[in-house]
Structures are given as C-alpha cells and as structure tokens.
A and B are shown apart, each in its own frame.
Chain A
C-alpha cells in the first residue's frame, strides 16, 4: 500500500521568497530604479567634479554652461553635490533598515516566545515609540556631535518598536502551531525551535517592513539635514544641500529642486518595491507557506 506524493506537484522545493518577489512587476521596475540609483551613488565620485570645490566666479549659475544642475551660492557644482549626496541617503536608509530589523527581530522573537519577557520588552518599546526621531536626533547631536553614526542611531531607536511589534505578532501565532509543539515534544532546544521553526515565518513580513523603514529613514535624514541637525555641511547630503539653497530659493530654485527630486524619486522607488513585495508575498504566504 506504499503511496508516493502526488505527481502533479513533483516540483522540489517551494520557490524562494526572492523568486516570488521578482515575478512582481513593480518589484522588478522599482528594484531596477534603485539599483541604478545605487550605482550612481557608488561610482558617482568618479565622473563628477569635487562637490565641495568652491568657484567664486561661477556663483548661483543656472543649469547649463556651469554644470548640468547649475551652481550654488559658493559656486559648487549642484550636480556633483546631488550625486554625492545619494551616498548619504542610501547609506542612512539601508543602515537604519538593517539595524532596526536586526535588533527588532531579536527583541520581537524574545518577547513573543517567552511570555515572562513580553511585558518588560513591550513596555520599554512603548516608551521608545513615544520619542520623536527628530527631537532625539537634535539631542544626540548636541551631546555627541553631528556624525553619520549619530544620525543613524537617532533614526533607528524609534523604528525598533515597530519592528518588534510586527515580529511579536507573527511569533505569537506561530508558536501555537502544532509543528512547533511537535518540535518541543521532540526535545528540540528552545533557541533552535526559534531559529528553525519560528524565525522563517517572520522573513517575508520583515522584508516588506524593511522597505518602509528604509524610505522613512531617508526622509527623516533629509529633514534633519534641512534643519541643520543632521550630517555636517562639509559632507553633501540631500537634506543639507536643500537647507543651504533655502536662502536663495526664489532666485535659484534649482539648488533645492534637484536634491528634492532625487530624494522623491528614491523614496518612491523604495515604496514601489515595498508595495510590490507586500502584494506578492502576503497572499503567497497565506496560500502556499501558511
């Protein structure tokens, strides 16, 4: 009476999360746009002039002879500054996403799996969530100076609770699954159960969450730069380019327009990828991954 699995579904493993995701059109095009922006950020310094070289002769020139995007009040090339600023934005976005997901994943797993840790962790998270990122950043910068690290720290801290809540909710449902109980009954150590049976269920929602964290981190970084509480002015970032262009906004709108447009396009690309991921991963999980 030996039976084998149905031949109709002989395909070996389930398709990977990434394979499913890339089949979605908005993930593909949004992702392509992001890759291009990332390439520009990485290799931009090679084909642009020095972004902080001052040229007093060519101040506040419109786009054209003195550079693709014109020049600012010190005669610096706006195109070069915007291209170099991309590096800061993408670094902040990616770093905040990775760090907050890593910390949030760990805390969320612990809070969801160990009931006695839940109340402690979640109350601390409620506290963190009430801190506005911008105020925290201003406070941190006045304490330890304006560096990339302070900016990232300031944005990461209020993001963590959102990730923790998401992970915790997934863990709370998964830990009741019979296959987790079967693993307990099989004597599997707790950390291994969390790693092997619980954690994989959080990956797909976390990938989606990461894109939103990334997009909002880039915006927050720009706001901080604009307020003068972000990356120091000698390093061009989209936020502080706009901040410096503010004074001459009505005369020379290009100084603000180009970094603003770059920021908008980048965040848009990230969000398109995020929406696509949610569309393609969520129903998929419901159907085939359970």
Chain B
C-alpha cells in the first residue's frame, strides 16, 4: 500500500541573514492511511515548517523548498500550481492550528464557516450543505448542533472552538489531517478530550494524521509512529513503542528524560518560620450595577494558605481557576477585595502604595513570558540593578551583586551589558530569576515561570529554582497548570477551580490519594500518564 503522504529528501532554505542555512534539511518520512505520525521537537526544530510546507502555507518570501519532493497520494505538491494546491487543501488535506480563536472568523457564525468549505469545494444545494454541516458537528460531539450552528466563536469554550475547527477541516473528508500543536492552547482536561476525538475520527475514517507537538506526553497518548526533529533534521523515527521505550539517539533520550515524572520525590516536611500567609483572601472582578445588576466574578474565593521559608507551595489549576489572581493579589499588583496577606508580620493587603513600597522587596515574582518580562530597551544589568538601587543600594554594589547572581543563575557576568533580545527564552528566564533574587526577598512567586519553555530548558530552570530556594531559604509560591512540573518541585499543593481551593495537601498525598473528584480528573487527563508513569499506575 502506498503512503498518503510521502516526504522525500525535503530541504527548505532560510534567507541569508538567518542563523542557519536550512529550516529543514533532507528530511524523509511518510504517513500511511489509518496512521497517526507525530513530529516532535523543541522550538526551532523545523517541525512547523514541515507542516506548513506540506500545506503550501509557508512564508514564500523567506522559505524556499530547494530539494526533495512532497508526494500526496503520488502527486508532487511542490510542483503543483496555486489553483491545484487550493483545491487539494480541504479536499485532500486539511489543517488544524494551535489557537482555535484566531483560526475562526470572529464575525461569522461557526456553522456558516464550516459550510463555507462546502460552498467553495462542492456544488451542494443550501439545504444539503446545512445537513452536512450539522452531521460534521455531530461527528465532533458538539452538543445541540442546531443551536450552535448560529453561535459566534466568542460564545464557545476553547474546546468547543477546537471541535469546530476540526469539523471544518474534516467536512470534506480529506485523506490527510495535519494538526499543528492543536491542544497546546487548551486546558489539560480539554486536551485529553480533543486528543481522543482526533484518534476516534482518524480510526473511523482511516485518515492519515500528521501531528505536530512538543509534548512527549501527547506523543505517548496518540502516536502510532514518531519522528523526532532537532535543528531541522530528523534524528530518529520509528514506531512509538520503540522510540519511547528504547530511544536510540541521545537527543531523543534527553527529551524523554526531561519529561517530569508524575511521581513526586519523597520530601521531608518543611518546618521553617512562616514567610507568607493568606487568610480569607477574596478577589471579585466587575461590580454590581446601581440597581444590583451587573456581573460579579469571584476570581478568588476565601483562599487560605501559608508558605514557610524553604518550602514550595504549588497552586495548580486550569485557565480561569484563579491561580494567577491569587499570585497577583499577594504581589499587590492588583488589590484584593478582602482578606489578609501577611508577609512576615505585616498585613500588606490594604496598605497604601507608599506604605507598601518598603515591603515590596520581600516578595518578588517571575512571570510566564520571558520575552515580555524584560524591558527591551534596557540592558540586563540595568534591569537587575533597578530594584536594589530603589532601596538605597549604591550602583556599584548593586552591579557587584548582579554579577554574582548572574553566575548563580548560570550566565556569564559579562552578559550584563547586553540587551534582552540577545538571549534565548530560557536565558531570559534565568535573568528574571536573578532580577528577583537581587532584591533579597523572603518570598519568590513563580507564575507559570517554566510554561513557555522547551522541555529540556524547563528542567534546567526548575533545577535552578529549587537551588536558589534552598540557597536563599526562600518561601516559594509556584503557580502552574502542569501537574508534572508541580509534582517535581512542590512540597505542598493547592488545587484551585473557579476561584475556590478544592484540595490542599502534601504533594505525595495529593498525587497518590486525591480526595476531590476534580483533582482525580486532572490527574487522569495528564498526557502520557499511561506510558511515563507506569510505576504509579
């Protein structure tokens, strides 16, 4: 049987000023009918360039395929005319993207957007078209398709939107589905549902699926075969059991080894003095209208916790759970509606900004997005010394401290004169950690601090966070959506849902014996649970 998609010796060149000559170099692999092939790699590996080139959607000014061929059922796509490629897209191959909100037109009802595919590619009558759209919506298990047909994208949840995108791509029954990180923007429970949906549809229709991901957990859940890419080249490919079970290439081994385990290591209970505590912390967004109308959202509802010095408390939850709200209230980046936030023995929840400022040095934060947390116009040194200088440390002394911290976080002290754009994401996150430590705080908040990083870098930054916590005897509040990460670094865990803490306890206990149903569903939904955590299963 000939494969649906056969990529042979494909090389795509980059423009001259890029850091390497080829985006992808001499890659060959194929996707057969009824098979899910996962292309996995870190950022810059060329995995997305591969999928975009297959769809003919690559940026034609920057990327030029210079060698090889892409055969879709025997036809070479690289030689096809624009008109032919347009016809192939949708009829033979379809693509789903990472962010379902931007993949949909915000001003058209979703049903019509699915119908548009049929309108362009078929000559069906209006009523037949609608029937087909409704069937497609039923196929992706959307509730009440008749009603949802007229909904706009913003009225749907992220998971429902991704289902619409899938329905749209499959309504013409293509033989090849390309999925580019389709679950990365989704919550873990939604991700599990979408993954099983893709698998179900693929089995029912016998399509080939080319699935791009950075997450080995997802690979373990969904793939039949795996292609591992690094710097534009394929380093290893083979059946999923072989690649995951007995990886041959050191890079694959490193990637698999870097996936944090869901089994928390044994931890002694921390008994240091309390550095941070929150009591009956509430935050409401919106306010009641003049006559009691208006919408009030409880972003945080009666949250209580303490963090001791030398201890890490994890706050785990999906988007909208209120975990970041808690962090921002504690930081006083937003004002809590009520409750107490004690740092040492001062309640900072209601302090005025001028009274609060002296206490700011005690509590520092590392944000999620390493590209936006440093001012692009200021050197790294200026960013790190800004805080200490505010508190009366002399410029020279602050610079000396910055140099010391740079080597603690694993960067060369000479790099203090450089600008943020000259560093990679992981390096920037190290700089942010150094900036926080320069204040000599008691409490360090890490708000999704490793979520935007590649898995190998993630492991290093986690190690660094743990090291500095021990070295400086910090109390750490670790906000994350990722249970694997939480398992590795947290002493205790607090699970939040819709602003409420549903479970709270030592990490090992929460993982081995979850009390709340929601915690159990989170644990079950963690991708790759069956493969990477056999010992716990």
* Interface set of A (CB-CB < 8 Å, partner B): 1-6, 8-10, 12-14, 177-179, 181-190, 196-197, 200, 288-290
In angstroms, Cα B423 to Cα A177, docked, is: 19
In angstroms, Cα B415 to Cα A12, docked, is: 11
Which B residues are CB-close (under 8 A) to A183? 375, 386
In angstroms, Cα B181 to Cα A101, docked, is: 45
In angstroms, Cα B419 to Cα A12, docked, is: 8
- 3 tightest CB-CB pairs across the interface, nearest first? A186-B387, A178-B373, A5-B422
In angstroms, Cα B371 to Cα A188, docked, is: 21
Do A290 and B386 touch (CB < 8 A)? Answer: no
Do A182 and B423 touch (CB < 8 A)? Answer: no
Given contacts A14-B376, A14-B377, contact A4 B414 (CB under 8 A): yes
In angstroms, Cα B238 to Cα A173, docked, is: 47
Do A4 and B415 touch (CB < 8 A)? Answer: yes
Cβ of A190 to closest chain B Cβ, rounded Å: 8
Which residues of B, 433-478, contact A by the 8 Å Cβ criterion? 435, 439, 460
In angstroms, Cα B44 to Cα A8, docked, is: 16
In angstroms, Cα B356 to Cα A190, docked, is: 13
Residue interface mask B362-394, A partner, CB < 8 A = 1: 011101110111111110000100110011000
Is B338 an interface residue, CB under 8 A from the partner? no
Cβ of A141 to closest chain B Cβ, rounded Å: 44
Residue among B358, B390, B419 making CB contact with A186, cutoff 8 Å:
B390
Cβ of A282 to closest chain B Cβ, rounded Å: 16
| Chain A residue with Cβ nearest B386 | A186
Do B333 and A184 touch (CB < 8 A)? Answer: yes
Residue among A1, A9, A187 making CB contact with B422, cutoff 8 Å:
A9
Is B331 an interface residue, CB under 8 A from the partner? yes
Do B386 and A188 touch (CB < 8 A)? Answer: yes
Which B residues are CB-close (under 8 A) to A200? 377
Is B361 an interface residue, CB under 8 A from the partner? yes
Do A3 and B410 touch (CB < 8 A)? Answer: yes
Do A290 and B331 touch (CB < 8 A)? Answer: no
Do B365 and A185 touch (CB < 8 A)? Answer: yes
Do A10 and B422 touch (CB < 8 A)? Answer: yes
Residue among A9, A14, A187 making CB contact with B390, cutoff 8 Å:
A187
Which residues of B, 121-174, contact A by the 8 Å Cβ criterion? none
14 contacts between A and B (CB under 8 A): A1-B460, A3-B412, A4-B415, A5-B415, A10-B422, A178-B372, A182-B365, A182-B435, A185-B365, A186-B387, A187-B358, A187-B391, A290-B372, A290-B376
Cβ of B425 to closest chain A Cβ, rounded Å: 12
| Chain A residue with Cβ nearest B422 | A5
Cβ of B329 to closest chain A Cβ, rounded Å: 13
Given contacts A187-B361, A188-B387, contact A1 B423 (CB under 8 A): no
| Chain A residue with Cβ nearest B438 | A186
Do B390 and A189 touch (CB < 8 A)? Answer: yes
Cβ of A287 to closest chain B Cβ, rounded Å: 10
Which B residues are CB-close (under 8 A) to A289? 376-377
In angstroms, Cα B421 to Cα A114, docked, is: 30
| Chain A residue with Cβ nearest B418 | A5
Given contacts A178-B369, A186-B387, A187-B360, contact A12 B417 (CB under 8 A): yes
In angstroms, Cα B19 to Cα A288, docked, is: 16
Residue among B367, B390, B432 making CB contact with A188, cutoff 8 Å:
B390
Number of B positions contacting A (CB below 8 A): 45
Which A residues are CB-close (under 8 A) to B435? 182, 186
Which B residues are CB-close (under 8 A) to A1? 410, 460
Do A177 and B372 touch (CB < 8 A)? Answer: yes
Do B360 and A4 touch (CB < 8 A)? Answer: no
Given contacts A2-B410, A186-B439, A200-B377, contact A9 B386 (CB under 8 A): no
Do B365 and A13 touch (CB < 8 A)? Answer: no
In angstroms, Cα B432 to Cα A12, docked, is: 20
Is B263 an interface residue, CB under 8 A from the partner? no
| Chain B residue with Cβ nearest A288 | B421
Is B357 an interface residue, CB under 8 A from the partner? yes
Given contacts A2-B407, A3-B411, A188-B386, contact A14 B421 (CB under 8 A): yes
Do B390 and A4 touch (CB < 8 A)? Answer: no
Which B residues are CB-close (under 8 A) to A10? 422
Residue among B333, B364, B390, B411 making CB contact with A2, cutoff 8 Å:
B411
Cβ of A105 to closest chain B Cβ, rounded Å: 17
Which B residues are CB-close (under 8 A) to A186? 360-361, 364, 386-387, 390, 435, 439
Given contacts A2-B411, A3-B427, A5-B415, contact A290 B371 (CB under 8 A): yes
Cβ of B434 to closest chain A Cβ, rounded Å: 12
Is B193 an interface residue, CB under 8 A from the partner? no
In angstroms, Cα B407 to Cα A4, docked, is: 11
In angstroms, Cα B353 to Cα A66, docked, is: 73
Given contacts A197-B375, A289-B377, A290-B376, contact A185 B364 (CB under 8 A): yes
Cβ of A119 to closest chain B Cβ, rounded Å: 16
Which A residues are CB-close (under 8 A) to B361? 186-187
Is B76 an interface residue, CB under 8 A from the partner? no
Cβ of B152 to closest chain A Cβ, rounded Å: 25
Cβ of B367 to closest chain A Cβ, rounded Å: 4
Is B424 an interface residue, CB under 8 A from the partner? yes
Given contacts A179-B373, A182-B432, A185-B365, contact A5 B386 (CB under 8 A): no
Which B residues are CB-close (under 8 A) to A178? 367-369, 372-373
In angstroms, Cα B373 to Cα A81, docked, is: 57
Which B residues are CB-close (under 8 A) to A190? 353
| Chain A residue with Cβ nearest B369 | A178
In angstroms, Cα B439 to Cα A71, docked, is: 74
Which A residues are CB-close (under 8 A) to B386? 183, 186, 188
Do B331 and A185 touch (CB < 8 A)? Answer: yes
| Chain A residue with Cβ nearest B328 | A181
In angstroms, Cα B375 to Cα A189, docked, is: 16
Given contacts A13-B419, A288-B421, A290-B372, contact A182 B411 (CB under 8 A): no
Which A residues are CB-close (under 8 A) to B367? 178, 181-182
In angstroms, Cα B376 to Cα A183, docked, is: 13
Which A residues are CB-close (under 8 A) to B373? 178-179, 182
Given A179-B374, A183-B375, 5 additional A-B pairs, CB 8 A: A1-B460, A6-B19, A182-B374, A188-B386, A189-B390
| Chain A residue with Cβ nearest B358 | A187
In angstroms, Cα B434 to Cα A3, docked, is: 14
Which B residues are CB-close (under 8 A) to A3? 410-412, 427
Residue among B365, B414, B419, B432 making CB contact with A14, cutoff 8 Å:
B419
| Chain A residue with Cβ nearest B441 | A185
| Chain B residue with Cβ nearest A188 | B390
| Chain B residue with Cβ nearest A177 | B372
Residue from B353, B363, B419, B427 with most neighbouring chain A CB atoms (10 Å): B419
In angstroms, Cα B418 to Cα A13, docked, is: 7
Cβ of B464 to closest chain A Cβ, rounded Å: 9
Do A2 and B412 touch (CB < 8 A)? Answer: yes
Which A residues are CB-close (under 8 A) to B369? 178
| Chain B residue with Cβ nearest A184 | B333
Residue interface mask B208-244, A partner, CB < 8 A = 1: 0000000000000000000000000000000000000
| Chain B residue with Cβ nearest A203 | B377
Cβ of B455 to closest chain A Cβ, rounded Å: 17
Which B residues are CB-close (under 8 A) to A9? 421-422
| Chain A residue with Cβ nearest B380 | A5
Do A8 and B19 touch (CB < 8 A)? Answer: yes
Do B415 and A179 touch (CB < 8 A)? Answer: no
In angstroms, Cα B420 to Cα A290, docked, is: 11
In angstroms, Cα B252 to Cα A11, docked, is: 34
Do B377 and A181 touch (CB < 8 A)? Answer: no
